[in-house]
Structure 1
Amino acid sequence: MDPADGTPAAADSGDPGALRERALDTLVRARARTTLLTSCVEGPDLTGQVSPLMSPLVWDLAHIGNQEEQWLLRAVGGQEAIRPEIDSLYDAFEHPRAERPRLPLLSPAEARGYAADVRGRALDVLEGAAFHGTRLTEAGFAFGMIAQHEQQHDETMLITHQLRKGPQALTAPDPEPVPWFTGPAEVLVPGGPFTMGTSTEPWALDNERPAHRREVAPFFLDTTPVTNGAYRAFMDDGGYDDPRWWTREGWEHIRRHSITAPLFWRRDGGQWLRRRFGVTEVVPADEPVLHVCWYEADAYARWAGRRLPTEAEWEKAARHDPAGDRTARYPWGDADPGPEHANLGQRHLRPAPAGSYPAGESPLGVRQLIGDVWEWTSSDFAPYPGFKAFPYKEYSEVFFGPEYKVLRGGSFAVDAVACRGTFRNWDYPIRRQIFSGFRTARSAEAA
């Protein structure tokens, strides 16, 4: 444990053999998922664009390979470029998503061959890598960064599958059913300082750094994410028709786009149905609500007489253990996530019922802070004190500002390598295609 940080680093951060094994496992796991997501469809479903918000799946596939080539083969391995002429085609900042279908992209066969060629060479680089010497190689950071990058694109590709019209292409078992949660609706999170962010987590990205002390006033937080059933009560009470609950921008947005329910929902007589990966089903009341934008989450919270938690409040609830003023890596402690802790990694294609995973709850009794649904917070995406961009400004720095709201905790579509108690996600407040939900908070009087 670093006393300046107060949080433990990953157990294998100093063992070269363990680091190599961890890097190999995460890279192999990511590639298996990429292969699944790009092999279960063909033709226009692979090469076309289902929405201007998303890339063609074949673009994501080659982009994954190109990023791996640039960072693992060239930057770490010192190798010559395999196909330098495609760098600009797969530069996410040079070509907006809406333009990508018109680019001279690699064919599916070429993209698969290119990604496989890069991966074979990258594993050779990993075999001989020294996990020290530069910030990029320290503790295998570059390999962890690339594994996280691929898993983030896998999540994006899963969103594309959700948006795709047509028959079901992906299947997965449902989460284990649990009794309807009857625990307390909220818990008190004590006020006081805690350590936010990290300086010791070896694969943490730049926006998670550095660790710093943050003061948080006492507040109450929902024990579980807001459910479909609870959100239905907001809808049934005319929530989408009452400007009292909406910010000015939010009210203008939902009226302009005729939004009256979460994305993918539709009314059928007296019930609500949703489309989920090609299957139409009754909206389950006990699942966390999904596919709502920040404006919808904020409006629900106002209607309920509550508010969205700040990012600092969310992280304190997820990492702070009042016993000994300790800050942990995850709500349940320092151990890496297991299937008993959280719904992660596309193991299921839906959130688990509210109240699931008691083994993953925080010391204060908050559940499902990790996995299931990304949780909107009230905070704008901003750098921590002492932030330094690494290894390139375009990962985080160019996004800092009030245009983006922070989401925390991951979803069922997020792999464990890209989901920590310190991990930060961000998006525009209008976004609904992402696997986003929320929980609410309220302030408490100081003791």
Structure 2
Amino acid sequence: MRERIAADLARARERSRLLTDAVDDHDLVRQHSKLMSPLVWDLAHVGNQEELWLVRDVGGREPVRADIDELYDAFKHARADRPQLPLLGPAEARRYVGEVRTKVLDVLDRVPLEGRRLVENGFAFGMVVQHEQQHDETMLATHQLRVGAPVLDAPPPPPGGPVGPDEVLVPGGPFTMGTSTEAWALDNERPAHQAVTDPFFIDTTPVTNGAYLEFVADGGYDDPRWWSEAGWAHVRKAGLVAPRFWERQGDRWYRTAFGVTAPLDPRQPVVHVCFHEAAAYAKWAGKRLPTEVEWEKAARFDPATGRSRRYPWGDEEPTERHANLGQRHLSPAPVGAYPAGASPLGVHQLIGDVWEWTSSDFHGYTGFEVFPYAEYSQVFFGPEYKVLRGGSFGSDQAAVRATFRNWDYPIRRQIFAGFRCARDAKREELT
């Protein structure tokens, strides 16, 4: 377990280093969008959280930099205000996170991984790994918003392939949702409980650029029939005409990703759409967004055994065969690129590629218990946030599983979010 934790900590830090070393100090300290922090804030913040939980709490050591705690408390300062704070400069931030990591590895060598819930099965270390990887994905989103010459590079994703029918039937009935056994699962994934669905159909793949382009071409952004009241108001106010980072040049559409503009790939999942856009497309297509319960059932339920899997393909950890994760590529993969990652029902790319909007508000499950702090999940419960599932190409395997829950405001488009559609099953389709 200690070896796994050390490897996960190292992988997260290598990614943080890549994302911050890719740009000069000027880019590190500037704010590329009011929605995002300066990259140097994220870097020092992950170090500060690591210090708070692993050096001070788990290790019982003296603080490294108690004087900066308030600067890097995400609830004390809005993102838009962080550039005006007396933040650690790039060199100082790098020294700080390096010093913290040295102490953390010493704690890891010495502390018993039992006897206290926070350290049982290495939970606190796993929480810190996931936290850094989540901020790495946030920093990747900041890179997408950055203006300038490309600084990130990665090989293209594998080609797509056949995926079978457009949609599959998910049987009605109960299944086990959530988890009480996943060692590093966060509080909002717990506890395991029985959930019940009616039979429903769900799309075999996420909605692609090509399919979404049909909605755009049909005047979807100009027709209030497809939008909720809140969605239509947002479209008008924000002047939305297409997914973010799309641009029309003549009769062709292009998408800009990390500073590179290229023709739209019609087989890649659409990305950088908000909840309102996803819901409008679904209505236009004669469908709807899946609920969070439906999404998890499609991702985990094995009708042959009646049990819920850790991942759509089974219980083993993700590999490059299963899913597009970990920033190995800088875009979603074309549909059908990961046949080994399909669910027993034949649903593809539920993990990785794009976060998928659901129709559900973010709430705790019955029996929810705050652990280890309310600011991770509980303070966000309510109708203001919509749940996203599945992870993106920018999510790491340590921070994604079929029970993992993400959430955001329904107007957000800077995140790597797409969607797939669902619909109710008609009686005649069940005979």
Q: TM-score, normalised by structure 2?
A: 0.98
Residues of 2 paired with 1:415 and 1:311: CA distance? 21
Q: Which residue of 2 aligns with 1:375?
A: 356
Matched, 1:150 2:98: no
Q: What is the count of residue pairs matched by the alignment?
A: 428
Residues of 2 paired with 1:211 and 1:196: CA distance? 6
Q: Does 181-190 or 240-249 show the bigger shift?
A: 181-190
Q: Which residue of 1 aligns with 2:160?
A: 178
1:104-143 equivalences under 5 Å are: 104-143=86-125
Residues of 1 paired with 2:45 and 2:260: CA distance? 29
1:44 deviation in Å? 2.2
Alignment partner of 2:375: what SS? helix
What amino acid maps onto 1:390 in structure 2?
Answer: F
Residues of 2 paired with 1:387 and 1:123: CA distance? 32
Q: Which residue of 1 aligns with 2:414?
A: 433
What amino acid maps onto 2:400 in structure 1?
Answer: C
Alignment partner of 1:383: what SS? coil
Deviations 1:96-143 (A, max 9, x none): 100000000001000000000000110011111211111100000000
Matched, 1:159 2:171: no
2:8 corresponds, among 17, 21, 26, to: 26
Q: Does 107-116 or 38-47 show the bigger shift?
A: 38-47
Q: Which residue of 2 aligns with 1:189?
A: 170
Q: CA contact under 8 A between 2:163 and 2:335: conserved in structure 1?
A: no
1:255 deviation in Å? 0.6
Residues of 1 paired with 2:226 and 2:317: CA distance? 39
Q: Which residue of 1 aligns with 2:344?
A: 363
Deviations 1:234-293 (A, max 9, x none): 011110000000000100001111100000111100001111001111111000000000
Residues of 2 paired with 1:21 and 1:216: CA distance? 41
Residues of 1 paired with 2:290 and 2:6: CA distance? 37
Q: Which residue of 1 aligns with 2:283?
A: 302
Q: Which residue of 1 aligns with 2:43?
A: 61
1:272 corresponds, among 236, 244, 253, to: 253
1:402-421 equivalences under 5 Å are: 402-421=383-402
Q: Which residue of 2 aligns with 1:46?
A: 28
What amino acid maps onto 2:121 in structure 1?
Answer: A
What amino acid maps onto 1:152 in structure 2?
Answer: Q
Residues of 1 paired with 2:398 and 2:163: CA distance? 32
Residues of 2 paired with 1:289 and 1:295: CA distance? 14
Deviations 1:363-421 (A, max 9, x none): 00000000000000000000000000111000000000000000000000000000000
1:356 deviation in Å? 1.5
Q: Which residue of 2 aligns with 1:256?
A: 237
Alignment partner of 1:93: what SS? coil
Matched, 1:442 2:423: yes
Q: What percent identity do the matched residue pairs reach?
A: 67
Residues of 2 paired with 1:286 and 1:260: CA distance? 21
What amino acid maps onto 2:3 in structure 1?
Answer: E
What amino acid maps onto 1:408 in structure 2?
Answer: R
Q: Which residue of 1 aligns with 2:188?
A: 207
Q: CA contact under 8 A between 2:302 and 2:308: conserved in structure 1?
A: yes
Matched, 1:102 2:76: no
1:225 corresponds, among 196, 206, 209, to: 206
Matched, 1:35 2:13: no
Residues of 1 paired with 2:229 and 2:145: CA distance? 28
Q: Does 339-348 or 35-44 show the bigger shift?
A: 35-44
Q: CA contact under 8 A between 2:180 and 2:191: conserved in structure 1?
A: yes
Alignment partner of 2:278: what SS? helix
Q: Does 273-282 or 140-149 show the bigger shift?
A: 273-282
Residues of 2 paired with 1:201 and 1:107: CA distance? 38
What amino acid maps onto 2:146 in structure 1?
Answer: R
What amino acid maps onto 1:261 in structure 2?
Answer: A
Residues of 2 paired with 1:21 and 1:325: CA distance? 34
Matched, 1:216 2:216: no
Residues of 1 paired with 2:138 and 2:251: CA distance? 33
What amino acid maps onto 1:373 in structure 2?
Answer: V
Residues of 2 paired with 1:445 and 1:386: CA distance? 34
1:169 corresponds, among 151, 155, 163, to: 151
Residues of 1 paired with 2:79 and 2:373: CA distance? 21
Q: TM-score, normalised by structure 1?
A: 0.95
**CA-atom RMSD in angstroms:** 0.7
Residues of 2 paired with 1:129 and 1:211: CA distance? 29
Q: Which residue of 2 aligns with 1:4?
A: none
Q: CA contact under 8 A between 2:163 and 2:348: conserved in structure 1?
A: no
2:318 corresponds, among 319, 337, 349, to: 337
What amino acid maps onto 1:423 in structure 2?
Answer: F
Deviations 1:134-193 (A, max 9, x none): 1100000000000000000000000000000000010000012234x3520000000000
What amino acid maps onto 1:243 in structure 2?
Answer: P
Structure 1 unaligned regions, length at least 5: 1-18
What amino acid maps onto 2:251 in structure 1?
Answer: G
Residues of 2 paired with 1:155 and 1:129: CA distance? 29
1:292 corresponds, among 268, 273, 284, to: 273
Q: Which residue of 2 aligns with 1:13?
A: none
Q: Give runs of ≥4 in structure 1 deviating > 2 Å.
A: none
Residues of 2 paired with 1:275 and 1:241: CA distance? 23
Residues of 1 paired with 2:271 and 2:258: CA distance? 13
Residues of 1 paired with 2:160 and 2:41: CA distance? 39
Residues of 2 paired with 1:135 and 1:350: CA distance? 38
Q: Which residue of 2 aligns with 1:75?
A: 57
What amino acid maps onto 1:161 in structure 2?
Answer: H
Residues of 2 paired with 1:445 and 1:76: CA distance? 54
